[in-house]
Amino acid sequence: MLEIRNLHARVADTDTEILRGLDLTVKAGEVAAIMGPNGSGKSTLSYIIAGREDYEVTEGDILYNGESILEMDASERAASGVFLAFQYPLEIPGVATMTFLKTALNAQRKARGEGELTTPDFMRRVKASAADLKIDPAMLKRPLNVGFSGGEKKRAEILQMALLEPRLCVMDETDSGLDIDALKIVSDGVNALRSPERAFLVITHYQRLLEHIVPDTVHVLYKGRIIRSGGKELALHLEEQGYAQVIDEAA
């Protein structure tokens, strides 16, 4: 589903490469964990897959279902099923969460040639997904993420993901800012969305999240490259040994 080849990228108008020859393959149905020390390029990778404009790919390619997406803008990628759950979800004053969700969902349906959902249909869906994620319906009337706790923001991200039914879900440090109960709710929400047609890129600094969302593969990102790949046991190994040993071996 996702094949990244020799990806080099930088922030637009700077000389510093952040991704420096990254290779990664993720199959449909797979949950791939990306782990790595702070500053290794994890968020940059997520932005570049999603098509953030102020980043520049200088070499290599990103294939999604066999086709390069480098020429597609962020909304085209979203319409084709790419979803990014942000590490730091933005607050959008003046836009009710419910309005945001309905607009996003209908824009995506339109791009896919599907008709708009009726309000009762939409309400049924959003209420069911919100209940699964233990989101208070009153929260949906509040402006998106404004005054939400860290855990509420992350649950709002997963609510968007559940409604938009993406094919490739990129989740950037969804566990940061979550207490243990919220971690369980979010993980259950993600696990319910696992399917043979859908792939996940779960980015995390810690092994803790991967006890709840058990990955098929684990990849270590360091200085803009994948320096080690393995199965779920690699995450445990990193938790016990830290990143230093894997970094030394790669050097």
| 3-state per-residue secondary structure call for 11-56 | ECCCCCEEEEEEEEEECCCCEEEEECCCCCCHHHHHHHHHCCCCEE
146 counts as binding ligand ADP under rule CB under 6 A:
no
Which is nearer to ligand ADP, 43 or 145 (by Cβ)?
43
57 counts as binding ligand ADP under rule CB under 6 A:
no
- Residue choice 42, 102, 154, 219 for contact with ligand ADP (CB under 6 A): 42
Where in 16-45 is the site for Mg ion (CB under 5 A)? Answer: 38, 42-43
Q: 């040993």: which residue's tokens?
A: 245
Residue pair 142/96 in contact (Cβ under 8 Å)? The answer is yes
Binding-site partner at residue 137 among ligand ADP, Mg ion, none, CB < 5 to 8 Å by type: none
Q: How far is Cα 175 from Cα 33, in angstroms, rounded to an integer?
A: 13
Q: Which of 24, 30, 144 is nearest to 89 (CA)?
A: 144
Where in 8-37 is the site for ligand ADP (CB under 6 A)? Answer: 11, 14, 18, 36
Residue pair 133/189 in contact (Cβ under 8 Å)? The answer is yes
- Residue choice 13, 15, 38, 71 for contact with ligand ADP (CB under 6 A): 38
Binding-site partner at residue 57 among ligand ADP, Mg ion, none, CB < 5 to 8 Å by type: none
Minimum CB separation of residue 201 from ligand ADP in Å reads 13
* Maximum CA extent, the chain: 58
Where in 177-196 is the site for Mg ion (CB under 5 A)? Answer: none
204 counts as binding Mg ion under rule CB under 5 A:
no
Residues 6+ apart with CB under 8 A from 64: 1, 2, 77, 80, 82, 168
Q: Is 192 helix (H, G, I), strand (E, B) or coil?
A: helix
43 counts as binding ligand ADP under rule CB under 6 A:
yes
> Which chain residues interact with Mg ion by CB under 5 A?
38, 42-43
> Which chain residues interact with ligand ADP by CB under 6 A?
11, 14, 18, 36, 38-44
